[in-house]
Amino acid sequence: MINIIWLTLLCAGAAVFTAKGQVALITGSLFQSAESAVAFGIKLAGLIAFWSGIMKVAEEAGLSKSIAKVMRPLLIKLLPGLKDHTEALGAVSLALSANFLGLANAGTALSLQAMEEMQKVNRQKDRASDPMCTFIIIIMGGLTLIPTTVIALRAQAGSAQPDRVIFPTLLASLAATLFALTIDFLIRNKRGGCRKKKVEQRAGR
């Protein structure tokens, strides 16, 4: 769907330029945009590589296990299905740590690794488990303590105070995450009640 939208926008823009007799501007805009994108990507690559390396060093040094111990009480309440699975909890805690620090690029790889670990202990391989769904909800809620990537983007764009987004981002992401977890909790309890009712009905028969 997104490809169709982008193609439609590009074709519409080209049609407008053609109708105005400014076809030459299309080529100029394409080259300028491509040049800006490459330059921006190179500048941002250094920051992403640095933080990705830091997270990898932390993982190899066993910091993930330490983080898992600190976050274990909270994670067990949020993801009770992983209570007895230390490796999965460690992977989840490391992924959440990266996302809390706003390291979206590093967090993506770590989140995929966390999903792989949770899939190993998933009894129904053809569907997402409750811990998987809750984990995705937390990630999509976007709770961020320090939006490192956003700060870097603002700095590269020439912002005078790129770090002014920290507090608003924290409030917005906290509200979104709490709301998402509340909905998750309500739906899970309702589903659990339905299952219990069905079991009781079968037992009554």
Closest CA to 10 of 24, 32, 26: 26
Q: Could you give the CA distance from residue 65 to residue 59 in angstroms, rounded to a whole number? A: 8
Helices (H), 20-62: 23-60
Q: For residue range 125-158, what is the model confidence (pLDDT) as tens digits? A: 888 888 888 998 888 888 887 777 778 778 877 8
Percent of the chain exceeding pLDDT 90 equals 2
- Average pLDDT rounded to a whole number, residues 96-103: 76
User: For the chain, what is the mean pLDDT?
Assistant: 77
Domain layout of the chain by residue ranges: 39-204
Q: Is 86 left (phi over 0), alpha (psi -120 to 50) or beta?
A: alpha
Neighbours of 55 (CB within 10 A): 22
Instruction: Answer yes or no: pTM beyond 0.75.
Output: no
- Average pLDDT rounded to a whole number, residues 2-29: 75
